[in-house]
Amino acid sequence: MFKVTPNPPDIYSVLYDDAFDPEKLKEAADRALKFYLNPGAPKTQIRPYKPGSIFTIDPAMDDETLLVEACENLASANVLISELADVTDGPRRQTMLVLQRVIMLGELAVNRVLDNHKPG
């Protein structure tokens, strides 16, 4: 029977390779520690979190426009869930119908606020 590896394997060529020179490893570790843990280095101030502005609503937007937009979004979600519930069976259908009811109640509440809203 032919063995591919020598008996015992020659591990000395791997352990004492130039890349694993103990002096080089110590120098690299010291550089890393100095870079990350140097207590004498000046600390940089962490910038405060600023959310992205891609989905920011203009603060000058009036309440009626925001209510109309919310109502339209809820109506779209209601139709979407209704269509998904039509093609689903079993307990998932019941879950979607409950979700549709919650969305519909939110839409009705926003519509009521919109009806009661006095512009100006």
**Between 57 and 94, where is the model more confident?**
94
Does pTM surpass 0.75? no
Q: How many whole angstroms separate alpha carbon 108 and alpha carbon 75? A: 10
- Written as six digits, the tokens of 104 are 């519909």
For residues 114 and 111, what is the distance between their CA atoms, to the nearest angstrom?
A: 5
Quick one: average pLDDT of 55-64? 85
Q: What mean pLDDT value characterizes the chain?
A: 83
Predicted pLDDT of residue 22: 79
pLDDT the model gives residue 105: 95
What pLDDT does residue 23 have?
Answer: 85
Confidence check: pLDDT of 78 > 90: yes
Mean pLDDT of 43-63: 79
Please compute the mean of the pLDDT values over residues 47-60 and round it to a whole number. Answer: 80
Structure token pair of residue 101? 């009811």
- Of 21-25, 30-34, 35-39, the poorest mean pLDDT is in 35-39
pLDDT for res 60:
87
Distances (CA, A) of 44 to 31, 38, 41, 47, 67: 19, 13, 9, 9, 43
How many residues does the structure list for the chain? 120
Show the tokens assigned to 6. Answer: 């020598």
Return the structure tokens found at 84. Answer: 């998904």
CB 62 within 8 A of CB 77: no
